[in-house]
């Protein structure tokens, strides 16, 4: 069984495109919520019904 650290590493390497619990790609994102310099998005797995928050940080801006 993978440690929490290994699950985190695999999820980030996979760019958050699968469920970190069961490995399914049947995931769905909800709305975004901000707190300080972080943004959170609730993610749900349609196969195993687990849920978690993806955490985003500001990395750059793009001129319009």
Average pLDDT across the chain, whole number: 94
- pLDDT over 80 (residue 1): no
Backbone phi, psi, residue 22, to 5°: -120, -10
Q: Work out the percent of the chain whose per-residue pLDDT is above 90.
A: 86
Q: Indicate whether 53 pLDDT > 80.
A: yes
Is the pLDDT confidence value at 27 over 90? yes
> What global pTM score does this model have?
0.83
Put residue 39 in one of left, alpha, beta given phi > 0 → left and psi -120 to 50 → alpha: beta
């Amino acid at each position: 069984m993978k440690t929490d650290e290994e699950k985190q590493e695999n999820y980030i390497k996979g760019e958050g495109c699968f469920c970190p619990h069961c490995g399914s790609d049947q995931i769905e994102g909800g709305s975004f919520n901000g707190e300080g310099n972080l943004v959170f998005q609730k993610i749900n797995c349609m196969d195993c019904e687990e849920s978690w928050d993806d955490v985003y940080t500001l990395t750059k801006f793009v001129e319009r």
